[in-house]
Structure 1
């Protein structure tokens, strides 16, 4: 799914790096998934970098 998003000119991240760069260790591996336009995903990434948001287990935008 991340591959399709990125081919369509969008961005996909797990909070730290692109989803397509995440090494696969297991068929049932789970990672956080944020996908959308470049600007919207950048905003989410900026929130992850904010120390106050890192104290929360769950974050919803």
Structure 2
């Protein structure tokens, strides 16, 4: 089984940086990791996010 990140992982992307920095240094590992997750893990993550969201945005824990 691959070494998966903890379930409490939060990804924060600052939008005041130049776009090329996002694509080359920050987002590429996230995109590659997401592409290799597999359907079951994607569904599990989506369900987890949906369960945490509350009306008006944000998450409650």
Q: Please, what TM-score do these two structures have when normalized by structure 2?
A: 0.35
Higher relative contact order (CA 8 A, sep 6+): 1
| Structure with more of its chain in helix, by fraction | 2
Which entry has the higher C-alpha Rg, 1 or 2?
2
